[in-house]
Amino acid sequence: MDNLTVIKIGGNVIDAPDALKRFLTSFASLTGPKVLIHGGGKVATQVADKLGIETTMVEGRRITDQPMLDVVTMVYGGLVNKQIVAKLQALDVNAIGLTGADAGTVLAKKRPVKDIDYGMVGDIEEVDSGQIQFFLRQNLTPVFAPITYSTAGDLLNTNADTMASAIAVDMVRHNSVTLIYCFEKKGVLKDPTDDNSVINELTPALYAEYKAAGAINKGMIPKLDNAFKALESGVAKVVICHADELATAVNQGAGTTLKK
């Protein structure tokens, strides 16, 4: 069974050209099959502003009405995705840019309205890991933008952390999978104000303690929820680390490693 590395890169790194260049150079150096899932960064908000489309965020999540869906599809699935693919080609990585709609790889359903109406936001129902495996066998490196599709033929904006977890879990059918979340911090921090307070190993019990104390909060919670779900669903290893430490995390160890 092949060892597959599924990597998610955060939007703050995408927004910083030098940081993105370093990350993609490190990504290109990794041996073996790999899949990249990227966030959107601030470009969608900037484009929306230029078009006179208001951006609404609730608890760090974007409300996606139809005009905003058009923007995130253009930006995430078009501009950002193809810029990353082009940079990887220059690094001799034969990348193929995808959304979940392409080849039916990631099917979702529109999130039901409860306390908040998130609009055209998708909750993942199914991943076609066989199709992704087909791309890998052709020596292609899939690069996914966080856009999915529904059985009704609608495009849906989907959380990139969730997409990375879902892809990693379904790829367990074919590979031993390592899932790595890369972003601008050195890992999960005991003290959010101290970049050096990295928690080297995190268990569900410790996670609950840090959440209760308020040390782990906001956007880190859904990231960790997805990460632990992947670990519980058969992913061999889950790491959260700084984008500059990707190669070290894969080969030696860096950032925060999750344990059952």
pLDDT tens digits along 96-131: 999 999 999 999 999 999 888 999 999 999 999 999
Please name the helix (run of DSSP H) or strand (run of DSSP E) that holds residue 215, with its range, or none: none
Whole-number mean pLDDT of the chain?
93
Mean pLDDT in order along the chain per 10 residues (260 residues): 90 93 97 94 90 84 91 96 98 98 98 92 97 97 98 96 96 96 92 88 92 84 89 95 94 89
40 is in an annotated binding site: yes
- In contact, 216 and 199? CB cutoff 8 Å: no
22 is in an annotated binding site: no
157 is in an annotated binding site: yes
41 is in an annotated binding site: yes
pTM attached to this predicted model: 0.95
Percent of the chain with pLDDT over 90: 79
Residue 226 CA to residue 220 CA, distance in Å, equals 10
Domain with residues 2-258, CATH architecture: 3-Layer(aba) Sandwich (3.40)
Give the list of residues 6+ apart from residue 171 with CB closer than 8 angstroms, or none: 4, 6, 35, 127, 129, 132, 133, 177
- Give Cα separations from 34 to 89, 102, 132, 190 (angstroms): 14, 18, 10, 30
